[in-house]
Structure 1
Amino acid sequence: MRKTPPVRGLLDPLTDACDTNVGSTPVDLALMGKVEEIVKRLMSDFKHNFSIFLSLEQAFLKFLMQHRCQVGIMERRIAETQRCISLLGRNWTNT
């Protein structure tokens, strides 16, 4: 049984996605674009049929999982790059 109303189920993750997103990276911009797409679809397709909230929530949560995966990959790449730069810097000063 669903405890969260359909409207809240969609609006909460949309709000969370926008809350600290300043659009400073391509991944952040893609997330904001997806939020905008969902809001536009909701505005155009909602005709007192609350099932649209459920379908949009499912679509957004699927996108959000992919987004988080991309962010994780980016963070790992950044950390690896920083480690390499640090090692190169140490090796450079030791020569």
Structure 2
Amino acid sequence: MGMQDTLHALADSTRREILNLLKQSRLSAGEICNHFSISGAAISRHLSILKDADLVRDEREGKYIYYELNATVLEEIFLWISELKGEKDHDQTS
């Protein structure tokens, strides 16, 4: 289910924009909300989907939860796409 969850999460433009924001730095849910004209509940749902797909990590600090990008899953997707395209990974030594 992992790859399916990831692709589902990436299919939504709002979630892709959240990931773009998080590539700059980690942000609280409130800071993420400030970039959108949708409700906090909608942003919370998008963040939940991104977390379920393991595209973001969260960490509680006091009364805030901060979100950051988990690039590892994206790297796995890029590798899979490269393999589909028939590209060889020149960095592998084994």
TM-score (norm 1): 0.34
The structure with the largest strand share of the pair is: 2
Higher helix share: 1
TM-score, normalised to structure 2, is 0.34
